[in-house]
Amino acid sequence: MAAATLAALVAAGALAAFAGVVAALACAGAAVVVGLAAEHIVQRRFSAWRYAEREDDLLVARGVLFSRLSVVPYGRMQFIDVTAGPLERSFRLATVRMHTAAAASDARIPGLDREDAARLRDRLAELGEAQAAGL
């Protein structure tokens, strides 16, 4: 987010060349405020994403405005995905997603380091196999 603020400042600097110093300063101030607010929101969103591996199930918590906490038993996992979009790939990140037979249970853990994601997937798959329960 600091990068976004910096970009806004650069843009404001460019504006100064055309529309005088006062307008440029006002723009810069607004950009800083917006940037800080965005940073705060993203920070909170980011820190709301948590997960915990317990003995029999996986806990995934997320969301600031709507806070959700999913409990997914290992035995109910049907398969586990690891996906990485272009943006995630450029940061060497990946998303682990657990699928159960229920359409509604959505448990995913985004922004994991790629190797961590692969390890987590293998661990979960192993636990799922060991505790698998039929439908």
Q: Does 121 bind another protein (CB under 8 A)?
A: no
Q: Does 104 bind another protein (CB under 8 A)?
A: yes
Return d(Cα 41, Cα 16) in angstroms, integer.
29
Q: Does 87 bind another protein (CB under 8 A)?
A: no
Q: Does 130 bind another protein (CB under 8 A)?
A: no
Q: Does 67 bind another protein (CB under 8 A)?
A: yes
C-alpha separations of 16 from 6, 20, 52 in Å: 15, 5, 50
> Considering CB under 8 A, how many residues would be counted as binding another protein?
26
For residues 95 and 82, is the Cβ–Cβ distance under 8 A? yes
- Residue 17 or 130 with smaller CB distance to another protein: 130
For residues 79 and 99, is the Cβ–Cβ distance under 8 A? yes
Q: Does 57 bind another protein (CB under 8 A)?
A: yes
The 12-41 site mask, x for binding another protein (CB under 8 A), equals ------------------------------
Give the residue, chosen from 8, 35, 76, 80, that forms a contact with another protein under the rule CB under 8 A: 76
Return d(Cα 106, Cα 19) in angstroms, integer.
50
Exposed/middle/buried for 106, CB within 10 Å: 0-12, 13-18, 19+? middle
- Residue 5 or 100 with smaller CB distance to another protein: 100
